[in-house]
Structure 1
Amino acid sequence: MPRTDEAKAFFHAVYSAIQEVPHGKVTSYGHIARLIGTPQRPRQVGVCLKHLSSDTSQTFHNGNVPWQRVINSKGIISPRGYPSGAANQAQALRGEGVTVTTGNLGELMVDFAEYGWFPRQLPSEEAAGIAPLIDSDDEG
């Protein structure tokens, strides 16, 4: 099914924002949603990542969008609907030097205090002199 112009713009905004997450850092679906001006849509950020192409001929693909750097707001790597999904993400993060631990229930976790990336605005927008979309008090 073809995407609407609104959906295309949202996917583009999500993928572009995730490209700005630095190597060795992680952020949350909710923070990406806030950075692009749609704080009510963290689940849709996850949907965008679910549909990230592996086709390198596409503008955005899993080779140029660091999907592994986005986790849930509790610092837990979200299950991917298949057994190896979270483990693959953990492996990719470990490859960037991020420590991934295992919780009491077997969940894979990252310490936001050490590896979190939560700027008030995207570095590209700050460099362009664009005012932040989010208030620093919005973080949670």
Structure 2
Amino acid sequence: MTSFTETVISLIRGIPEGCVTTYGQIARSAGSPRAARQVVRILHSMSSRYQLPWHRVVSGNGEIKIRDEESFELQRFLLESEGVELNRDRFVDLDKYGYGPVD
């Protein structure tokens, strides 16, 4: 595992309940500002193995970007169960729920 991947995993594990951060913020905090897509890949391939709170990571504008309807509904449910409100069913207010500096 690369040091970038280890750092990303650590950062995702550190997102507190009831908060979100963005793919881009995690990439920047891990030292690779242009690696937001790599963060997506890490989440996709390692969330189960490392029990990552994947649902706390959203796009730079606060949108849940998952296209699969079942996974989208699961992310929305998990966020709402932590007290995170969604606007127009897809967007998290990053000013209110953002953890750390966000995009």
TM-score, normalization by structure 1:
0.67
- What is the aligned counterpart of 1:114 among 86, 96, 102? 96
Partner of 1:28: 22
Divergent runs of 4+, >6 A: none
Gaps of 5+ in 2: none
Q: 1:70-81 alignment to 2 at 5 Å? A: 70-80=57-67
Larger helix share, 1 or 2: 2
Determine which structure has more spread, i.e. the larger CA radius of gyration.
1
Partner of 2:37: 43
Alpha-carbon RMSD across the aligned residues, in angstroms, is 1.7
Relative contact order (alpha carbons < 8 A, sep ≥ 6): 1 or 2 greater? 2
Q: CA deviation at 1:53?
A: 4.6
Gaps of 5+ in 1: 120-138
Partner of 2:77: 91
Q: Percent identity?
A: 37
Q: Is this contact kept in 1: 2:8–2:30, CA < 8 A?
A: yes
SS in 2 for 1:117: coil
TM-score, normalization by structure 2:
0.88
